[in-house]
Amino acid sequence: MLTSRFVPHDFAIPETLETAEFRLRMLTVHDVVKDYDAVMSSVAHCQTVWGGEWPAGLTLTQNLIDVGWHQKEFQTRRSFAYTMVDLAETEVLGCVYILPSTKRGHDAEVYLWARQRELAGGLEDRLYAATRAWIATQWPFQAVAYPGRSLTLAAWQALPEEPQ
């Protein structure tokens, strides 16, 4: 199986992060219906996370393709998409994406979101805090960016690219 140099070949990828209110685990095609519901109930919020039109117009079939791609990328250690589920795993509450960075001075970038209805209660803030601590203690990265959080999306996009 081909792997990238995003993480060392002998690094054991964390399977889960669990708190008193949610669990992060690998996003798989088995999550597609619940994931689609979470995404489509949070379209306006998701658009603020990445800046752009996605996921407007997303179909269940397109979401299946996206989720399958995320699952394969996870398996090949090229990027890591975690679904955030409630502890009973009855509902997807959001996602965390750990990606290799193309920006100079960063080895990873992390994006995350929670369902739009959970924002007022602070779930996304708690997800961000838990994810930052998890990345800092359980992952091998030296310089992690949280675009839209630790710096604005505009500032992130203006950073120079790493030479190829």
Q: Sketch the domain layout of the chain as residue ranges.
A: 16-154
pLDDT given for residue 106 in this prediction? 94
Q: When comparing pLDDT for 154 and 71, which is higher?
A: 71
pTM value is 0.94
Query: Edge-to-edge strand order for the sheet containing 92-100?
Result: 16-18, 23-26, 80-85, 92-100, 108-114, 144-145
Structure tokens, 72: 């394969």
94 Ramachandran zone, left/alpha/beta (phi>0; psi -120 to 50): left
pLDDT of residue 5: 79
**Cis, peptide link before residue 147, omega less than 30° from 0:** no
The CATH number of 16-154 is 3.40.630.30
Q: What is the pLDDT of residues 22-58, one digit of tens each?
A: 999 999 999 999 999 999 999 999 998 988 888 989 9
